[in-house]
């Protein structure tokens, strides 16, 4: 039951990330004091997440894909033939909410629902050729624009460390 909680060792200091350089926090009028907010992990987590999703949308805007849609296509590619419940559960999407989402992707001919022969209740999900092509283009845009930008801002080692810590929180917290 959620083992290992105390497996951290050292954590030598990371890259020198710039801090309070510009001080133009809020532009014009005397910026407000953030107080303990600066130390609230959840607050920074939320603000960072919004920025990252915003940039994601910009980077793949030509393909009209949201982060959620991208994650669904990716999962279909890596796990062809899985049903709606399996894909939705893996992504933390509730089954009722997954229906409209799939309708959208299917109407754009990016994926297909195929009634299973073994269990006629379930739909085997799979990408269409167009879906595979769109996903491939999305991956390229994300790698060369989106994640590359994050590497610029953080540095590759920091980016990797950040990813690992976030995965740890998502898994063990």
Partner DNA sequence: TATTGTTATACTCTATAACTATA
Partner DNA sequence: TATAGTTATAGAGTATAACAATA
Site for a second copy in 56-85 (CB under 8 A): 56, 67, 71, 74-75, 77-79, 82
126 binds, among a second copy, DNA, none (CB under 5 to 8 A by kind): none
Instruction: For residue 163, give the 3-state DSSP assignment.
Output: helix
Minimum CB distance to a second copy, residue 107 (Å): 24
**Between 21 and 94, whose beta carbon lies closer to a second copy?**
21
Cα torsion for 52, 57, 59, 65, to the nearest 10°?
Answer: 130
Does residue 15 come out as left (phi exceeding 0), alpha (psi in the -120 to 50 range) or beta? beta
Buried b (16+ CB within 10 A) or exposed e, 7-46: eeeeeeeeeeeeeeeeeeeeeeeeeeeeeeeeeeeeeeee
Taking each helix axis as running N to C, give the angle between helix 84-91 and helix 67-78, from 0 to 180 degrees, rounded to the nearest 10.
Answer: 130
**Between 12 and 107, whose beta carbon lies closer to a second copy?**
12
Could you tell me which residues come within 8 angstroms of residue 66 by beta carbon, excluding any fewer than 6 positions away?
57
26 binds, among a second copy, DNA, none (CB under 5 to 8 A by kind): a second copy
122 binds, among DNA, a second copy, none (CB under 5 to 8 A by kind): DNA
- Contacts with a second copy in 117-146 (CB under 8 A)? 139, 142, 146
What is the contact surface with DNA in residues (CB under 7 A)? Answer: 66, 68, 83-85, 93-99, 102, 113, 118-123
Residue 92 in the binding site for a second copy (CB under 8 A)? yes
**Between 58 and 95, whose beta carbon lies closer to DNA?**
95
Residue 34 in the binding site for a second copy (CB under 8 A)? yes
């Amino acid at each position: 039951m959620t083992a290992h909680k105390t497996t951290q060792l050292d954590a030598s200091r990371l890259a020198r990330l710039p801090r309070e350089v510009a001080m133009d926090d809020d532009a014009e009028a005397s910026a407000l004091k953030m107080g303990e907010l600066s130390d609230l992990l959840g607050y920074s987590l939320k603000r960072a997440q919004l920025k990252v999703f915003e940039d994601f949308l910009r980077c793949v805007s030509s393909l009209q894909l949201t982060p959620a849609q991208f994650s669904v296509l990716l999962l279909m590619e890596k796990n062809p033939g899985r049903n709606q419940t399996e894909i939705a559960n893996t992504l933390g999407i509730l089954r009722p909410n997954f229906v409209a989402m799939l309708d959208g992707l299917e109407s754009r001919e990016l994926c297909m629902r195929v009634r299973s022969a073994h269990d006629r209740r379930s739909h085997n999900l799979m990408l269409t050729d167009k879906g595979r092509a769109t996903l491939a283009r999305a991956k390229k845009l994300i790698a060369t624009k989106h994640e590359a930008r994050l590497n610029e801002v953080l540095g590759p080692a920091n980016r990797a460390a950040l990813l690992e810590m976030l995965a740890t929180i998502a898994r063990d917290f």
